[in-house]
Structure 1
Amino acid sequence: MAAPGLEKEVLTIPVTNPSAPPLDVTKPPSTGTNAIFDTLYDTYSSFLDRRAALGLSNPGTVESIAKEVQRDVFLSAQAFSGLRAELNKSFSLNPIFQVSHAFSTGSQFLSPYTFLALFGTDNVLLQGQVDSDASFSARFNLRPHPRYTFKSSVQIQPSSGMSPGGAQVSLEQDYVGDDFSASLKSINPSILEGGLTGMFIGSYLQAVTPRLALGLEGVWQKPGGEMGPEAALSYAARYKGNDWIASAQLLTQGGLQASYWRRLTDKVETGVDVNLQFAGLSGANAMMGGMRREGTATLGAKYEFSRSIFRAQVDSQGKIGCLLDKVIAPPVRVTFSGEMDHAKNAAKLGLAVSIEASGEELMEQQDRVSPAAPPF
């Protein structure tokens, strides 16, 4: 017999439903939130679901809204004059590491000698260039996240008889979403002159439908000294068809740039670009004689052959140009550039030879290693 006062008390829990699953005490029941937050969260979730159901893709950036015409078809960024020779040497593909030596003569814009070195991985890009005129430029791009890219560049130009010289620093941040792109770029930002100076460019491009994208681009700049700030805003639109792309940018101060790109065949592309300027719409140029209208239209075509690419373009100002890039052998490429300006009665000719001096080890590496894709 147990001693008095030492009896054990047994706690019994009534079981209402023996077939019910056991209670998980590690996950306490969630507490309810306020009705306003729940309504906003449900609305936002419903918006995301409907947005994902549209199947929208990334439309690119406002800066490259007409890249198919201005970069791929036109030869404005590739034309040159004089004689040029390039010797390229690649040491590896992943990471990419290569150097280049370029020699030129008979050109007013190219230096007699230029040295370039490039190193890049899938997330980092380092590039430096120096020439015989003591000009220097460098780029550093970083991709810390698949959606975010940081780009920076530095250019130093010494003074000469044709140029006063100077330096420029550019910082850019790009964010790429599933159906939009946002970018913020600053050129020569500074706070050492009594306030914020420099040029700042912000842009946003949003896909509205699987074919249509709309965007904005704002520019704010303030030079040094007593000059006040200036601002400009432009609207952008891009429509993508099955085999054609149309884009347009409207500047609020008075300007319109429209382009149209079309693929005729698998090897033929064409492009049209129209640039209209309406100076004096805002009243800033009233002392210069009122409103002035200026416009330029450019038509170009690109032909891709088995081992060569031919580009040609003509504009409304009487300028005709062509560029032929031909691979003579796998390590040798020859480029011919020609331009004739009927209005100024001037002509330019250019011939370049590029040699890729890669070793046999790199040729073997191409079969088993995929090249890196740096954030250009």
Structure 2
Amino acid sequence: LRRGLGLPSPGNWEALHRDIKGTLPSLHQFEGAKVDLSSVISQNFQVSHAIQWGVAGPVPNKYSFSAGYITERLLLHGQLDDELVLQGRANYNWVVQPQPAPPTVDANGIPQPPAGPAKPATSSTTKVQMQLGSTQAPDMIQLEHDHCGTDFALNLKAVNPNLIDVAPKFGAQKARGGGRATTGVYSASYLQSITRHLAVGLEYMWQRPFPEMEEAAMTYALRYAPTLQPGQALPNPATLPAGIPVGQVYPPVRATDPNRVFTATFAPANGAFHASWWQRINPRLEVASELQMLLTTGSPAAGTMGNRQALASVGFKLDTVSATIRSSIDTMGRVTTVLEEKLASGLSVLLSGEMDYTKGNGGAGRVGLGFVLEA
């Protein structure tokens, strides 16, 4: 029955709210100056250097070296910075993914959208992440398995798992802990498509950072991602370079990809609500909005008060022939803009700016300048 419905894959739990992350400038913003140099040694191996200085904080200057090795089944990535903090990541794909079809052009030489498969391929990936040597945070290891079926996604994760930790010294856990205790953070999440455009899911997390303390929480998720109707197409941008078709300026958009996505997650235990909306207006313009709320109720008997906080932001991403602009404004009075300009093949300049109008004396700003070189 499920196969006959032709339901799409909902994507994994980590991909929730991912659409807005590529549109809003939050993850692309930086302060001070930075230079990123990357070099492709072979088809499977590449290295990169990152230098950053002039950043406000305890570490104003920083250098890191990264190396990555990729095959159709294996991904290995490591990073070492000037403070000898080592970060590593390894992914192993148990199911080899099919290669995408080569791009096609029409009779006029205009690139056409790739013809996506009717059903996405099943993927099953085991992931390991680690961080060692940091003075700002304890050492960390994360074990994870991600399985995406044709219409569902399952994720299992363990952070700093320890099945034979010391026994609890006090509290209710001591009575049932015996001689040993299990510590760490463990989570399981499941997403299921129930229609062609709607998916629902939940995540259960159990954490025990210390033998004497444990906590469990449930998070519920909803994702609505409609696609264009058969025969419909995104409108062309209002302005285009003279004499150049839109397909030769901007990457073609697959008709089966969602053109707008609404995502919401809610954790009743701590009252955290997160909602986002993303929409592609045309091949060069995307808009996004985000709402984060924290709603907790107080307890007069315990002498605690409720807490209500909210932060909303709206922004856009605009692609031109040689540049990408991301900008946003939020309810805290912060205006952020990041510009990426391609100067030549493999060379880009980055400009980042933020103005916080909640600060006194007309506000406080942060500025960043960077270069990206690919060889």
Common topology (TM > 0.5):
yes
1:260 partner letter: W
- Decide whether aligned partners of structure 1 residues 173 and 301 sit closer, same or farther in structure 2, where only a CA change above 3 A counts: same
Does 2:88 correspond to 1:138?
yes
2:12 partner letter: T
- Give the equivalent residue in structure 2 for 1:24: none
| Partner Cα separation in structure 1 for residue 62 and residue 201 of structure 2 | 42
SS of aligned partner of 1:195: strand
Q: Within 5 Å, give how 1:42-81 maps onto structure 2.
A: 50-69=1-20, 71-81=21-31
Give the superposition deviation at 1:88.
Answer: 1.3
- Give the equivalent residue in structure 2 for 1:318: 333
Give the superposition deviation at 1:141.
Answer: 0.7
- Partners of 1:258 and 1:274 within 8 A in 2: yes
Give the superposition deviation at 1:258.
Answer: 0.9
2:365 partner letter: A
- Give the equivalent residue in structure 2 for 1:233: 218
Q: Within 5 Å, give how 1:68-217 maps onto structure 2.
A: 68-69=19-20, 71-93=21-43, 96-107=44-55, 108=57, 111-146=61-96, 147-159=123-135, 163=136, 165-193=137-165, 194-217=180-203
Spell out, residue by residue over 1:251-278, the C-alpha distance to the aligned partner (whole angstroms, 9 max, x if none).
1222211111111111100011111111
- Partners of 2:343 and 2:349 within 8 A in 1: yes
Q: Within 5 Å, give how 1:342-353 maps onto structure 2.
A: 342-344=357-359, 345-353=363-371
| Partner Cα separation in structure 2 for residue 288 and residue 178 of structure 1 | 50
| Partner Cα separation in structure 2 for residue 199 and residue 291 of structure 1 | 27
| Partner Cα separation in structure 1 for residue 82 and residue 14 of structure 2 | 32
- Decide whether aligned partners of structure 1 residues 130 and 288 sit closer, same or farther in structure 2, where only a CA change above 3 A counts: farther
| Partner Cα separation in structure 2 for residue 341 and residue 173 of structure 1 | 40
- Give the equivalent residue in structure 1 for 2:291: 274
- Partners of 1:280 and 1:286 within 8 A in 2: no
- Partners of 1:142 and 1:151 within 8 A in 2: yes
1:183 partner letter: N
Give the superposition deviation at 1:111.
Answer: 4.7
Spell out, residue by residue over 1:10-30, the C-alpha distance to the aligned partner (whole angstroms, 9 max, x if none).
xxxxxxxxxxxxxxxxxxxxx
2:340 partner letter: D
SS of aligned partner of 2:159: strand
Give the superposition deviation at 1:158.
Answer: 3.0
1:174 partner letter: D
Segments of 5+ residues of structure 1 without an aligned counterpart are 1-49, 358-376
- Give the equivalent residue in structure 1 for 2:253: none
- Partners of 2:23 and 2:286 within 8 A in 1: yes
| Partner Cα separation in structure 1 for residue 316 and residue 193 of structure 2 | 28
2:346 partner letter: P
| Partner Cα separation in structure 2 for residue 286 and residue 130 of structure 1 | 51
- Give the equivalent residue in structure 1 for 2:311: 296
- Partners of 1:84 and 1:351 within 8 A in 2: yes
- Give the equivalent residue in structure 1 for 2:245: none
1:54 partner letter: L
Query: Greater share of helix residues, 1 or 2?
Result: 1
Q: Which runs of 4+ in 1 moved over 3 A?
A: 108-111, 285-289
- Partners of 2:181 and 2:211 within 8 A in 1: no
| Partner Cα separation in structure 2 for residue 144 and residue 244 of structure 1 | 31
- Partners of 1:201 and 1:218 within 8 A in 2: yes
- Partners of 2:128 and 2:141 within 8 A in 1: yes
1:68 partner letter: D
- Give the equivalent residue in structure 2 for 1:355: 373
Task: Give the TM-score normalised by the residue count of structure 1.
Answer: 0.76
- Decide whether aligned partners of structure 1 residues 261 and 110 sit closer, same or farther in structure 2, where only a CA change above 3 A counts: farther
- Decide whether aligned partners of structure 1 residues 191 and 297 sit closer, same or farther in structure 2, where only a CA change above 3 A counts: same
| Partner Cα separation in structure 2 for residue 180 and residue 319 of structure 1 | 38
1:188 partner letter: N
Give the superposition deviation at 1:288.
Answer: 6.1
- Give the equivalent residue in structure 1 for 2:237: none
Among 224, 244, 252, which residue is 2:268 paired with?
A: 252
- Decide whether aligned partners of structure 1 residues 101 and 226 sit closer, same or farther in structure 2, where only a CA change above 3 A counts: same
| Partner Cα separation in structure 2 for residue 325 and residue 219 of structure 1 | 38
- Percent identity (aligned): 32
Give the superposition deviation at 1:74.
Answer: 1.4
Spell out, residue by residue over 1:329-364, the C-alpha distance to the aligned partner (whole angstroms, 9 max, x if none).
00211111111112233321111111122xxxxxxx
- Decide whether aligned partners of structure 1 residues 131 and 353 sit closer, same or farther in structure 2, where only a CA change above 3 A counts: same
Give the superposition deviation at 1:287.
Answer: 4.5
| Partner Cα separation in structure 2 for residue 264 and residue 288 of structure 1 | 50
Q: What is the aligned-residue RMSD (CA, Å)?
A: 1.7
SS of aligned partner of 1:264: strand
- Give the equivalent residue in structure 2 for 1:262: 279
Aligned residues: 298
Segments of 5+ residues of structure 2 without an aligned counterpart are 97-122, 166-179, 228-258
Task: Give the TM-score normalised by the residue count of structure 2.
Answer: 0.76
